[in-house]
Structure 1
């Protein structure tokens, strides 16, 4: 049985949200926008399953290929990205160090992401655009100092990320990666969110990334160095998590920079990030034209 899927999309110049079914998209914003302007407000009201239930028996309003899918959560307060969170990824650094004691992390801006089906943009400033397939948790119930035993109760939904990175720009400064992680339209989020239901749903998800059909990344969430409970606890120690916040949980080994020679993305490439029970996020690549 297909998991419920909720998406943000544009059609005829307007932004909507709705449920993705086998027959297309049921426009839920037409019925709920007065109460919930976007999916972020739906999440804040703990109303995702209300929308799923409302979808039952309704005909699709749009064909899926007739709309443009957007990042599912519009203007999240925070997009927090976790680095080096799979064992083999840590080994890629070849620095002889054990797994880190605490997670590496950085922030990204909403403008650095596009939705499913929209090409990533290789910027004029660099040809070192790389891919990083990742599973994403979306925060539902906010909070500060969230204890690990309660942490999963704060997850609203799951989605996917291609956490596109400009490799030479992450090395511009002595100890930050912000520049190389925030070029406009270099990453993607989506294609939709899948409501979180229970721990078994996230315990052992297979996550893969393919470039032009070639398998490049392949790992499972059961192998995370810092699991979802820990991440929510750790992050909420220093910042208040808010409904709709996005936590990008780390990428497996196999990014293009780790090949010899590196295999960076170029116009015409197609990247597919896929996770069991969540979906498939697909994007092409174009050069910046501005």
Structure 2
């Protein structure tokens, strides 16, 4: 099964995709895929309900918009320069331990929603990433227990305004947090269905041109290490998201740089998880 949320922004209902492709509403069973859902065994209860044949479930309308597959998390923790070739194209040296930064949760967006170019933006960029969704509270946990705290995985795009990120002083957050800069989806794949999070191909196209093409096995710091490492510095709550970094091929790294403009189309995906697509639009 895969977890989805559907409906208008801010009013999404929880749903599930079965192995036969049917999309069913689960609103009669669960309020939402949020911190409480993951903290109190919701994923296991959902699986049991599916195994029982999804009694009294209604189908999700085929035309329904898909939102992000979980409710807005308490935090989005991002890992910078986690692929060697991307660290080289980014500059500023090769990290010896994970580089962490945050995206404001108000950037939360659906997998096929438009990305709005901020007023004054000149260097809008894309980054395909494996998203790790935390399943139970993690605080100062050992690496060997890290994956026990993971609920599932999804596709994430870390959109960035590079001028704001690198040319305006301070930390990266201001270049990472504009509304629509954090689409995730199209669904959550439970961790039990991903045998090895370091064995996945991830890719990104801009206007059908393949820009990024990498493997999660190329991470300098893998998922186990990241969950354990981050939990040393902050408590990870159920439903929190870790964006694990991006391979080489971002617009900033090209010579000359090739940033996004209104009208561009960004397609990205991770094999075994899913694909997303966003259109870049001008701000109003």
TM-score (norm 1): 0.89
1:108 aligns with 2:103: yes
Residue from 13, 21, 28 that aligns with 1:16: 13
CA contact (8 A) 2:130 2:154 kept: yes
Point out the more displaced range, 260-269 or 14-23: 14-23
In the alignment, which residue of structure 2 is the partner of 1:68? 65
In the alignment, which residue of structure 1 is the partner of 2:28? 30
Point out the more displaced range, 52-61 or 140-149: 52-61
Alignment of 1:279-290 (within 5 A): 279-289=274-284
* Alpha-carbon offset, residue 143 of structure 1: 2.1
Residue from 88, 91, 101 that aligns with 1:91: 88
Alignment of 1:1-290 (within 5 A): 4-10=1-7, 14-21=11-18, 23-33=21-31, 37-55=32-50, 57-58=53-54, 61-64=59-62, 66-94=63-91, 97=93, 99-197=94-192, 200-289=195-284
Point out the more displaced range, 246-255 or 189-198: 189-198
Pair 103,55 (structure 1): closer, same or farther in 2 beyond 3 Å: same
CA contact (8 A) 2:200 2:216 kept: yes
**What is the CA deviation profile of residues 69-97 of structure 1, one whole-angstrom value per residue up to 9, with x for unaligned ones?**
222221211110100000111221455x4
Q: Which runs of 5+ in 1 are unaligned?
A: none
Pair 93,116 (structure 1): closer, same or farther in 2 beyond 3 Å: closer
CA contact (8 A) 1:19 1:52 kept: no
Pair 186,94 (structure 1): closer, same or farther in 2 beyond 3 Å: closer
How many Å separate the matches in 2 of 1:176 and 1:11? 33
* Alpha-carbon offset, residue 175 of structure 1: 4.2
Superposed structure 1 runs of 4+ greater than 6 Å apart: none
Match of 1:31, SS? coil
Structural RMSD (CA): 2.1
Pair 203,46 (structure 1): closer, same or farther in 2 beyond 3 Å: farther
CA contact (8 A) 1:17 1:39 kept: no
TM-score (norm 2): 0.91
CA contact (8 A) 1:212 1:270 kept: yes
Q: Which runs of 5+ in 2 are unaligned?
A: none
CA contact (8 A) 1:218 1:252 kept: yes
How many Å separate the matches in 1 of 2:128 and 2:198? 18
Point out the more displaced range, 261-270 or 171-180: 171-180
Pair 172,12 (structure 1): closer, same or farther in 2 beyond 3 Å: closer
